[in-house]
Amino acid sequence: MAELAEADRYLLEQIDRGNKDGWAQLVQRYQGRLLAFARSRLSRKAEAEDLVQDTFIAFLEAIKRFDRRLSLETFLFTILRRRIIDALRGKRLKLTYLQETMHGDRDDMEDASSRLEGPSMTASWYAHRAEDANLLSDALGASLNALVGRFREAENFRDLQIVEMLFYAQLRNKDVASVMKMDEKAIALIKHRCLNELRDHITAHARLNKADSQWLASPAWESAEFAASMVTQVWEAQRPTCPKRSTIGRLMLGTLDGTWKSYVEFHVNELGCRFCRANLDDLQKQTDEAPKALHERVMHSTIGFFRS
Ligand SMILES: [Zn+2]
C-alpha cells in the first residue's frame, strides 16, 4: 500500500539530521529486496549490485523531492526500475509474470510510461500536463485507492484480480477472460464500469484545473485504451494492491486464511508481481540465512568446550 511506514518516517528524520546510523539502517532495510528485484532482470550479479548502489546514491540526491505521503519502497523501486531499463537499453521491463506468459514477446506491449508518449497522445494534453503534471495523477491515485478499498472491503477479490490484470499487467480482455474462465464481454463491462467509477470519483473529490476537467470529460477518456494506459501509469507508480511485506511474510509462513490467502497467492504467484516477488525472495533468503547465523553463534559460544 502506498503509505509511508512509521519506521521509514523515523529513519528519514534521522537522515535529515545527518545521522549516518539512520542511513545505514535504511540501506539495510531495503537492499535485499532491491537486489532481488535487480537480480530477477540482470544475469550478472555485479551489475545488479552496481544498480542497487546507484539507486541509493540517486535516492540521497533526490531525497528533498521525495513526497513523504508515498511509500519509500515504491520510490526506491521506481529509481531502480529506471536504471534497469537504461541498462537493458530501453528494452521493456514487464512487471508481472502473467504479462510474460500471456504476451510472450509481443512487441506492441511496452511500459505504460512509454506508451503514454506514443502518437495517441495529443499535443494539447501534453502542453497542460507540463504545467501541472501531478494534479491529475494524484487525483487518479486517490480514486484508484478508493476503488481498490471498496473491492477489498466487500471481499470482491474476483473484480480485484480482474482490475489488476487489466490495469497492472495490461492484459487484453480476452486474456483476462481466459484466466478467469469468464466471458470476454463480462470483462469488458467490468473494465468500462471501473473507468467510469474512477472518473466519477475524480470529478467528485478532486479540485482539478480547467484543462484537466475538460480532458476528463472529453472523448479521450472514453477511449478505453487511452484511459487504461493512464491508469496503468499511476498504478505502477503507486501499487495500490501490493500486499504489505508482512503479509507476504505470512504467506510464506502459511499463516494466511481463506479468500484473503487465495487473493494474496494470486497476486504474488499467479499474477507474479515482480515487486512482491522481490520481497518474497528477500524474505526467503533471510529465513535461509538465519539458521546459518544462529549456527555460527552457537559454535562461537560453545567452542570453549572443545579446547584441550
Ligand atoms: Zn505486488
Q: How far is the CA of 22 from the centre of ligand 1 (A)?
A: 27
Q: pLDDT category, 3, cuts 50, 70, 90?
A: low
Q: How far is the CA of 135 from the centre of ligand 1 (A)?
A: 25
Q: Which residues surround ligand 1, an ion (CB under 5 A)?
A: 242, 273, 275-276
What's the mean pLDDT in 194-220? 85
pLDDT, residue 168, reads 93
Residue 200 CA to residue 183 CA, distance in Å, equals 26
Which residues does residue 38 pair with via DSSP β-bridges, in sequence order?
none
Q: What is the DSSP letter of 96?
A: B
CATH architecture, domain 6-91:
Orthogonal Bundle (1.10)
Q: How far is the CA of 96 from the centre of ligand 1 (A)?
A: 9
- 275-303, pLDDT tens digit by residue? 999 999 999 998 877 777 777 887 787 77
Strand, helix or coil for residue 171: coil
pLDDT at 32 over 90: yes
CATH 1.10.1740.10 boundaries in the chain: 6-91
pLDDT at 243 over 80: yes
Q: How far is the CA of 278 from the centre of ligand 1 (A)?
A: 9
Choice among 60-64, 204-208, 216-220, 278-282 with the minimum mean pLDDT = 216-220
Choice among 125-139, 175-189, 267-281 with the minimum mean pLDDT = 125-139
pLDDT, residue 279, reads 96
| Residue 237 CA to its chain's centroid (Å) | 6
The mean pLDDT of the chain is 84
Closest CA to 286 of 32, 100, 67, 76: 32
Q: How far is the CA of 243 from the centre of ligand 1 (A)?
A: 6
Query: Cα-flanking dihedrals φ and ψ of residue 273, to 5°?
Result: -60, 120
pLDDT at 113 over 50: no
Cα–Cα distances (Å) from 216 to 43, 201, 278, in that order, read 43, 11, 36
Global pTM value:
0.81
Q: How far is the CA of 36 from the centre of ligand 1 (A)?
A: 14
Q: How far is the CA of 124 from the centre of ligand 1 (A)?
A: 34
| Cell, residue 110 | 511496452
Give me the percent of the chain exceeding a pLDDT of 90. Answer: 49
Q: What is the DSSP letter of 273?
A: B
Q: How far is the CA of 238 from the centre of ligand 1 (A)?
A: 10
Q: How far is the CA of 248 from the centre of ligand 1 (A)?
A: 9
Q: How far is the CA of 214 from the centre of ligand 1 (A)?
A: 33
Q: How far is the CA of 162 from the centre of ligand 1 (A)?
A: 14
Choice among 115-124, 210-219, 242-251 with the minimum mean pLDDT = 115-124
Q: pLDDT category, 123, cuts 50, 70, 90?
A: very low
Q: How far is the CA of 63 from the centre of ligand 1 (A)?
A: 24
Cα–Cα distances (Å) from 176 to 58, 100, 191, 253, 284, in that order, read 37, 14, 11, 29, 30
Helix ranges, 132-244 (H): 133-153, 157-163, 173-180, 184-205, 210-217, 219-222, 224-238
Buried b (16+ CB within 10 A) or exposed e, 258-271: eebeebbebbbebb
- 211-231, pLDDT tens digit by residue? 788 878 877 777 777 788 889
